[in-house]
Amino acid sequence: MTEQSDDLMTTYMDAGEQFGKSAKEFLQHLNLLPKAMKDYQQAMSASAELRKVLDNRDEMLRTLMAQLEEAVQTPLSKLALGEKNTDGAKASSAAAGIGIVKTFP
């Protein structure tokens, strides 16, 4: 039983010594924690602002693209782009009173 007690005492002493060294080293760098927290908050704030700017820009681009797509879908713009009349363009022309278009199968 004495040998087991000696092993336990050695383990206890070694672990206590290692803990003391680690704790002392940790405490020496503890002053960096407030700076790290401040830097983290600054990075998160900048990230949020950047995200807001990018989101606004993305929305503006989506709106512009929707306007372009809408403009391209009108019969006059299709003619201006050199596209052939589609059935939809013929139907809208007929509905506008421009003429009657008959389609055959």
Please give the structure tokens belonging to residue 81. 């782009």
- Per-residue pLDDT tens for 38-61? 999 999 999 999 999 999 999 999
The burial class, CB within 10 Å (0-12 / 13-18 / 19+), for 90 is middle
CA–CA gap between residue 88 and residue 92 (Å, rounded): 6
The burial class, CB within 10 Å (0-12 / 13-18 / 19+), for 78 is middle
Q: Output the average pLDDT for the chain.
A: 84
Q: Which residue has the tokens 């401040």?
A: 38
- Show me where the domains of the chain are located: 1-30, 32-70, 73-105
Model confidence, pTM: 0.49
The per-residue pLDDT for 95 is 46
